[in-house]
Structure 1
Amino acid sequence: MTAFVDIHDVTHIYAGSEDGQPAVEGMTIKVREGEFTAIVGPSGCGKSTVMKLATGLQFPAKGTIIVDGKQVTAPVKLAGMAFQNPVMLPWRTTLKNLLLPLEIVQPHRGRLRSHRKEYEARAEALLAQVGLAGQGSKFPWQLSGGMQQRASLCRALIHEPKLLMLDEPFGALDAFTREELWGIIRDLHAAQRFTVILVTHDLREAVFLADRVFCMSARPGRIIAEREIDLPRPRDIEITYTQKFIDIVHELRSHIKTAREAA
């Protein structure tokens, strides 16, 4: 398989680590272009470390990371990122928060001033896609938590990245809002077919959204299981109540339990 994201035999130790133990060790993950993958595992297993390595925010002590055919030696410009905390700048309107990546990433940085109306229209269209039509003039503090997280997803996608990295983006939301946002990211992925790596503690979320789920061991993190999610698409929330869905969640849960007991 030719992988869009190829993390091969990677070991990473954070500088200043008190015990010198790797965060991840011998990690290998291959993600196909356009695939939606999820990474699950016990707390502290290195899930977020994988995201930092794949986007060039950290560099491994050992192994190689290749994204879109190029070895990662600097921050990956083709990636968009969204986190559990939306981190919206309170002094900027929602629309201006969305435009922030365009002020940093080339070639958009060089085009923003002369093509601002075009980019603003793109931002407004994204907001409409996630149910925030007409909200661009509001400040983050005027939006609910769920609305801020929707805006954060738009900001991650504004520069049309080929890779979307999601680090527990729905973890702080109530169950109903979380499931609503599952549907939104499902639809965005179906329409645009960017590659996704989702880091999550929520096994239901992983199974509902992903084409494939990787389970990690306790620290130092390694891949201990890989599961293709052979559920039909598009998936509606009702599928989460089917026996096949429940069986897959239980299967993944057993891997996590084994990983915890081995720690």
Structure 2
Amino acid sequence: MKDFGLVSIITPTWNCARFIEKTIQSVQAQTYQNWEMIIVDDCSTDDTYEVVKPYIDKDNRIKYRCNEKNSGAAITRNNALKIAHGRWIAFLDSDDLWKSDKLEKQLSFMHNHSLCFSYTNYVEIDENSKELGVKVTGPQKINYFGMYAYCWPGCLTVIYDSSVVGLIQIEDIKKNNDYAMWLKVIRKARSCHLLNETLAFYRKRVGSISNHSYMSLIIWHYNLFREAEHRSIITSIFCVFINLCAGVLKKILFVKNYNTL
């Protein structure tokens, strides 16, 4: 297998003791083994550290850090990115999973097509890792304006080339911090490309952002464009409107139901 260089896997965590072991195992099971997994704990109050510790002790590719104080997902991802050594930056939240050939296939795809920013399809699972019969995909190619229109890539599927993009640090916003990151990445990468294969599992949990009201989503999107992107009030409102329209389009074109039986 070709060695494409070190992959830094960014894994923020907070109170995910129930799920993080399977997440780590899905990384260790990768057919592509040149990786480091950077777990940054946002001051969990459960047994997250106790679950992670045996893996840290046995596998020096797994690195664990803890924030000095509870800081939220944006700062936690920033802290992980600051200590990443890999050329390739991948993202995997501490309750999500990868298929075993995810890194190998995606890095090969990026190498073969000279890409520096890509994503894949994913399927939704429940808290017991049962597939929910929903597959999420997206446009084959997303340019700068397309990324402003909507956050198409699932965070758990993204890889970008840090030798092109550089160190990314985002504003401290409560929600949509992954979207804020892609908007910064796309400025350097110019485009994001889809590997049209299902290589990841997104865990849909009770109380997740996807289960909040439309009004909450509107406010969080407005804050993204106004606070993280520093756009004017009018431009931020316009971007939220475009996002709402694109969200409808995504459900029609890119969210597919399938039979799990």
Q: TM-score, normalised by structure 1?
A: 0.29
Could you say which structure has the larger radius of gyration? Answer: 1
Q: Which has the higher contact order (CA 8 A, sep 6+)?
A: 1
Q: TM-score, normalised by structure 2?
A: 0.29
